[in-house]
Amino acid sequence: MKPFVVCVIYLCCVILLVNAKEIHDVSHTASPYRDQGRPQFHLRPPQNWINDPNGPLYYKGVYHLFYQYNPYGSLFNQTIVWAHSASYDLVNWIHLKHALVPSKPFDMKSCWSGSATILPGNYPVILYTGLNINSQQVQNLAMPKNLSDPFLQEWVKYHGNPLMTPPPGVDPDDFRDPTTAWRGRDGIWRVVVGGLRNKIGVAILYKSKNFIHWSLHHAPLYSGNENAGIWECPDFFPVSVNGREGIENSENGTNLKYVLKVSFIFNTNDYYMIGSYDADKEKFVPDKIGLTGTHPDLRYDYGKFYASKSFYDSGKKRRILWGWINESDSSANDIKKGWAGIQSIPRQVYHSPTGTQLLQWPVKEIESLRDTHVTYTGKIVKSKSLFEVKGITASQADIDISFKMPKLDDAEIFNPKWNDPELLCRTKPATVSGQNGPFGLLLMASQDLTEHTAVFFRVFKNNQQFVVLMCSDQRRSSHTQEVDRTIYGAFIHMDHKDEMISLRSLVDHSVIESFGAEGRACITARVYPQFSSGKEAHVYAFNNGSADLFVSTLNAWSMKKSKGN
Per-residue burial over 136-156, b if 16 or more Cβ lie within 10 Å, else e, is bbbbbbbbbeeeeebbbbebe
The CA-atom distances, in angstroms, between 537 and each of 95, 389, 565 are 30, 11, 21
Least confident of 26-35, 85-94, 370-379: 26-35
Q: Tell me whether residue 7 is in a domain.
A: no
Q: What is the pLDDT averaged over residues 552-565?
A: 96
Is the Cβ–Cβ distance between 80 and 53 less than 8 Å?
no
For 184-235, the pLDDT digits (tens) are 999 999 999 999 999 999 999 999 999 999 999 999 999 998 778 999 999 9
The angle subtended at Cα 184 by Cα 181 and Cα 185, nearest 5°, is 155
- The proportion of the chain whose per-residue pLDDT surpasses 70, expressed as a percent, equals 94
pLDDT at 472 over 90: yes
Q: Is the pLDDT of residue 414 over 90?
A: yes
Pick from 530, 455, 523: nearest CA to 490? 523
Known active-site residue 186: no
pLDDT for position 562: 98
Cα pseudo-dihedral 545, 474, 378, 363, rounded to 10: 140
| Residue 26: pLDDT over 70 | no
CA dist list (Å): 233 to 31, 167, 389: 34, 18, 40
Q: Is residue 10 part of a domain?
A: no
pLDDT at 496: 87
Give residue 279's pLDDT band: very low, low, confident or very high (50, 70, 90). Answer: very high
- Whether the CB-CB separation of 307 and 232 falls below 8 Å is answered with yes
35 belongs to a structural domain: no
Same domain, 401 and 527: yes
Domain count, the chain: 2
C-alpha to C-alpha distance for 138 and 399, rounded to whole angstroms: 44
381 and 328: one domain? no
Residue 32 has pLDDT above 70, yes or no: no
Confidence of residue 33 (pLDDT cuts 50, 70, 90): low
The Cα–Cα gap between 547 and 315 comes to 47
> Does residue 500 sit in the same domain as residue 377?
yes
Q: What is the pLDDT of residues 239-266, one digit of tens each?
A: 999 999 999 999 988 899 999 999 999 9
Last residue of a domain, one of 310, 337, 362: 362
Marked catalytic residue, from 25, 35, 52, 548: 52
Close Cβ partners of 340 (under 8 Å, ≥ 6 residues apart): 48, 49, 50, 74, 75, 326, 327, 329, 334
Q: Which domain holds residue 56?
A: 45-362
Among residues 339, 362, 385, the one where a domain terminates is 362
Give me the pLDDT at residue 482, please.
82
Assigned domain for 195 exists: yes
Q: Which helix (H) or strand (E) holds 423?
A: helix 421-427
pLDDT, the chain, mean:
92
Label residue 1 by pLDDT band (50, 70, 90): very low
Q: What is the CATH number of the domain that holds 355?
A: 2.115.10.20
pLDDT of residue 484: 86
pLDDT of residue 8: 34
Give the pLDDT confidence of 365-394 residue by residue, as tens digits. Answer: 999 999 999 999 999 999 999 999 999 999
CATH value at residue 498:
2.60.120.560
For residue 324, CA distances in Å to 25, 440, 478, 511, 524 come to 22, 26, 22, 12, 10
- Cβ-defined contacts of 215-218 (< 8 Å, 24+): 216/164, 216/167, 217/282
Distance between CA 37 and CA 336 in Å, rounded? 12
Bridge pairing between strands 256-264 and 283-286 = unpaired
What integer pLDDT is reported at residue 293 of this predicted model?
Answer: 79
Inform me whether the pLDDT recorded for 16 exceeds 50.
Answer: no
- 377 shares a domain with 354: no
